[in-house]
Amino acid sequence: MAATAPTLAEVIFPEQANHNFSRILGDLKRSNLSITNRLKSIQHDATFVESVADALQLPLVANERCGSWYIDPTKKTASAYFKSTDGHTGQWKFSTRRINLHLLDVIGEHNGCIIVDSTRRGKRHPDALSKTVPTWCAVLNRVLFPDDPSSHTLHVPPNAVSDSEASQISARLPDFVDSFLSLKIDLGPLRSQVKKPLRPFWITQDDALDLEFTDGFHPVVCCTSSRRVTGTELGEGGYIQGAGDDTENWALGLTAQIWWRHTDELLSTPEGELPELIKRLVAEEGTGANATGRMRNVAPGILVGTLQAASTQLGKPGTCVVRLLSRTTAQDSWVKSPSHIEVGLGKSKAASRQLRDALPNICEFVSRFLSETNPEQGTVAEKSVIILCESGKDLSIGVALALYCWCFDAEDKVRRASNDRESFTKTAIRVKLGHIMNTAPDANPSRATLQSVNSYLMDWRK
């Protein structure tokens, strides 16, 4: 008897079977993207980064936010902020907010450096390394070596950037140079730091560690730490490309600093116990000996730091302290004394937006302090303003910029009255921001923070 042909319902998975299959695939993907697999992948990639440094004998620079996950802190020379968004197709930019000029000293001293970053699944290089860094090198070469046209060419990795895109970026280089020069930065010290033009090179886990450098250039090696995964992670034995990216989605508050201090403990802890361990380590980091109180002078008479520094600064003669709290508080509770104000802005983007409404109070408070403590002079040689926030890199930098513009004139003297303030322009604000970023290269004010500052300064008469 001939076999009966299967019906359509027997051939096609019923709806419930499809649902179960999708759920199983989802569970497999989530288990592969576990915290344990991410940390093991980071450790694997960090070993590769160390081998690059050993082979090339150049200092390691972490491109933040994720570069520090792949570099042992004892072997990290510096951090940089080259954003991939500044290299996105059609949106190429030379950032006057993230100028990274501190790297010139590192490059000049060591005859080059290695900038470390990672990227998501499927990409060979992050845009920060394939386009943003090359643009930075080309702009600085044109600024610092104007009489050497051979160094003005944009160099990009041919396997990642097309000739057409490279040509379009090159066409914008003159405008990028003008943007840099508009910051009015003293070029003399920069030219003394590097004796040769900059030349980018690229290296990944698929490349040999035998790069050959030209004597006429300082090599800027762009190292993509993560191995390229072209399919799904399910076939990679637990390896995750760019495992240190998007930490807000998986790290539970774990930072690169905590990771490197507790690597063995984190890797040896079962997945189910990791959330509790991370919670404990993060809490200890915020309250224990590792909590930092370091402050930096970012402008004449203006210092920034983390909130942990406040206890040692309150009440000091000639010192005004502005604390930016990570919780919201009522405006009528902000002023604690004539030299101490605590402004509760909240966290993240919400805090940056709240800053716009808080700046009038902060600026007038500080301006009053400066004029009252030294009414006979227009300098701040014996006075200081300290701004503190949770990170010491975002909100405090925004407030420092606002105060630098609002309270001080072009000669860095204290303004005597509000009616002598010029109408602020984006160019004037950008110049002072460039000064701050040049003195505090690890600062990283968010776009929302800077938008609040610009909005306040440019509309203050309204």
> Side by side, which strands form the sheet with 218-224?
76-80, 60-63, 113-117, 218-224, 198-203
- Is the model more confident about 25 or about 107? 107
Average pLDDT of the chain, as a whole number: 85
Q: Which two tokens stand for residue 217?
A: 């250039």
121: CB partners within 8 A, 6+ apart: 229, 233, 241, 242
- Domain 295-458: give its CATH code: 3.90.190.10
Tokens (6 digits) for 96: 């006057």
Amino acid of residue 443: A
- Beta bridge partner(s), residue 223: 116, 203
The C-alpha atoms of residue 253 and residue 50 are separated, in whole angstroms, by 25
For the beta carbon of residue 287, count every other beta carbon within 10 angstroms: 9
What is the pLDDT confidence band of residue 380, given thresholds at 50, 70 and 90? very low
379 confidence band (pLDDT: 50, 70, 90) = very low
pLDDT-based confidence at residue 403 (cuts at 50, 70, 90):
very high
Q: Token pair of 458, please?
A: 């440019």
CB proximity list for 134: less than 8 A, separation 6 or greater: 154, 155, 156, 200
Domain ranges of the chain: 35-246, 295-458
**Token reading at 63:** 């491109």
Assign 178 to helix, strand or coil.
helix
Question: Burial, 16: exposed, middle or buried (Cβ in 10 Å; 0-12, 13-18, 19+)?
Answer: exposed
Per-residue pLDDT of 239-295, as tens digits, reads 899 888 888 888 898 999 999 999 999 999 999 999 999 999 988 876 544 445 568
- Over residues 181-214, the pLDDT tens digits come to 998 889 999 999 999 999 999 999 988 888 888 8
Cα–Cα distance, 385 to 388 (Å, whole number):
10
Characterise 350 by phi-psi region: left (phi > 0), alpha (psi -120 to 50), beta (else): alpha
Percentage of the chain modeled with pLDDT above 90: 55
Read off the pLDDT of each residue in 334-348 and give the average, rounded to a whole number.
92
Q: Hey, what amino acid is at 218?
A: H
* Residue count (the chain): 462
CA distance 417 to 366: 13
Pinpoint the alpha helices (H) of 288-420: 348-373, 395-407
pTM of the model: 0.80
Cα–Cα dist 387/310, whole Å: 9
Identify the band that residue 27 occupies on the pLDDT scale cut at 50, 70 and 90: very low
